A = this chain, B = another copy of it.
Amino acid sequence: MAKAILALALTTLPAAQALNVARNPNFAKLQGGYLFPEIGRRRNAFVAANPDKADKIISLGIGDTTKPIPEHILSGLVEGATKLGTQAGYTGYGSEAGNGALRERIAESCYAGTGISAEEVFVSDGAKCDIARLQIMFGPGVTSAVQDPSYPVYVDTSVMMGQTGTVNEKGQFDNLVYMNCAAENNFFPNLDEVPRADVYYFCSPNNPTGAVATKAQLEALVARALKDGSILVFDAAYAPFIRTEGVPTSIFEIPGAEKCAIEVNSLSKYAGFTGARLGWTVVPNALEYSDGSKVRDDFNRVMTTCFNGASNVIQSGAMACFSDKGKKEIDELIDYYLGNAKILQGLAEDLGLDYCGGDDSPYIFVDLKGKSSWDTFSTILEECQVVTIPGAGFGPGGEGYLRFSAFAPREACEEARRRIGKIDIFKGQ
């Protein structure tokens, strides 16, 4: 009977009929899904298996902001939406590179004194999307270098574009340069050991390690890029979290960077725009490929062809972010998240574990004393109902670490500290 039903089902199901189109072989090289949806799947699987514990779950996982957007910035968003309902205020397509006034304001607010001008600022829907667009521009022919561990998008987009081989026995992609940035290097690469690459991706304050590069370190990076004639893609998405005097908040504070660096940035993490979507990328006019053509012109071609501008509503909110009132509101949001970071530093101390980050950055990267990061992720999810991110998800160099995000609500951070502080997996080590 069961067999008969199965036979019936098989005959009524449409036959799977593969197309005569070959899959892009670069996609077969990618390992599993993108990291953060994978974390969500594991969380959901836990909830499905333990529905009674669903209410207890706390997320210190994905770096997703949780505080509402403050009043003045919000008024910019609401006004941006409202005026679309009037004939005088309605706007359709804007420049694919962003409204001129916003580009001016970003240049003034973030790059005063560096020589960066508004026409070098490209406004977008976020830093992640801009990294993908930079990769479309670079194409398959370049060699890229990434920090290890690093934000997964640099690696995954390099693979998608065909710049790399497949994963080798070290868990690294062939033809991709890994710059070790874990504890043994004090979370900054030993540049003498790094082979030349065409494009170096570097993020400071760092995701996931929370490390913040000093001025001297950034000078060394820029000097290296200039010596190699390479491009340094600097991810400054967490720059306003820097509170220590003298630490640069833009790569363009380093002389010479305007000849080798591209900077990506975003309002996501400090204006609460993770869902609203607004970022930008600075491509200086002075950057030229070896044939003398301007890098900026090719990036402009990508922006105009593959993108249609950030939402006009959200650009209106962004204008408010760069006003005096908006900047004050952003400072208060950052104060709050850095307060959370202190609590999570305390959690690492409770556990007797070394950590990096949390002073000028919203991530705390905890050294698990040799324990597996995916196993520890699972233990903490099962025993404490706290979602974290395993360091190994950020590359082989992240194995043995766990990332806590300070973007959770204050009470969640305190409760996570109480719960995780009680587990005994690190005791006696």
Chain A 309-349 per-residue mask, 1 if CB under 8 angstroms from chain B, else 0? 11111100100000000000000000000000000000000
CB neighbours (8 Å) of A302 from chain B are 160
Does B308 lie within 8 Å of A311, measured CB to CB? Answer: no
**Pick from B78, B139, B230, B317: contact of A19, CB under 8 Å:** B230
CB neighbours (8 Å) of A21 from chain B are 142, 198-199, 229-231, 289-290
CB neighbours (8 Å) of A64 from chain B are 92-93
CB neighbours (8 Å) of A22 from chain B are 141-142, 198, 289-291
Chain A 286-317 per-residue mask, 1 if CB under 8 angstroms from chain B, else 0? 11111111010010111011111111111001
**Pick from B26, B96, B136, B277: contact of A311, CB under 8 Å:** B277
Chain A 270-295 per-residue mask, 1 if CB under 8 angstroms from chain B, else 0? 00101111000000001111111101
Interface centre among A36, A82, A308 (most CB of B within 10 A): A308
**With A162-B140, A275-B309 known to touch, is A290 a contact of B18 (CB < 8 Å)?**
yes
Does A85 lie within 8 Å of B93, measured CB to CB? Answer: no
Does B18 lie within 8 Å of A291, measured CB to CB? Answer: yes
CB neighbours (8 Å) of A137 from chain B are 24, 27
**With A132-B305, A132-B307 known to touch, is A23 a contact of B290 (CB < 8 Å)?**
yes
Does B162 lie within 8 Å of A136, measured CB to CB? Answer: no
CB neighbours (8 Å) of A74 from chain B are 81-82, 84-85
Report the minimum CB–CB distance from A37 to chain B (whole Å).
5
Interface residues of A in 250-281 (CB under 8 A from B): 259-260, 272, 274-277
**With A84-B272, A85-B74, A128-B308 known to touch, is A14 a contact of B139 (CB < 8 Å)?**
no
* Segment of A65-73, A207-215, A240-248, A360-368 engaged in the interface with chain B: A65-73
Does A30 sit at the interface, judged by CB under 8 A?
A: yes
Does A289 lie within 8 Å of B140, measured CB to CB? Answer: no
Does B301 lie within 8 Å of A34, measured CB to CB? Answer: yes
Does A313 lie within 8 Å of B276, measured CB to CB? Answer: yes
A21 to B317, CA, bound (A): 37
Does B311 lie within 8 Å of A125, measured CB to CB? Answer: yes
**Pick from B24, B152, B199, B288: contact of A139, CB under 8 Å:** B24
**Pick from B20, B128, B231: contact of A306, CB under 8 Å:** B128
Interface residues of A in 81-122 (CB under 8 A from B): 81-82, 84-87, 89-94, 96
A24 to B22, CA, bound (A): 24
Does A311 lie within 8 Å of B132, measured CB to CB? Answer: no
A307 to B139, CA, bound (A): 18
Does A228 sit at the interface, judged by CB under 8 A?
A: yes
Does A84 lie within 8 Å of B291, measured CB to CB? Answer: no
A-B interface, 7 closest residue pairs, ranked by CB to CB distance from nearest: A20-B229, A24-B139, A132-B306, A23-B289, A275-B312, A92-B274, A34-B304
Q: Could you name 11 residue pairs across A and B whose Cβ atoms are closer than 8 Å?
A: A16-B288, A19-B230, A20-B290, A21-B290, A24-B141, A69-B85, A74-B85, A92-B272, A153-B305, A157-B306, A160-B306
12 A-B pairs besides A21-B199, A67-B87, A311-B311 with CB distance below 8 A are A19-B290, A20-B228, A20-B229, A21-B198, A24-B138, A27-B298, A33-B301, A70-B85, A81-B81, A157-B305, A277-B310, A313-B314
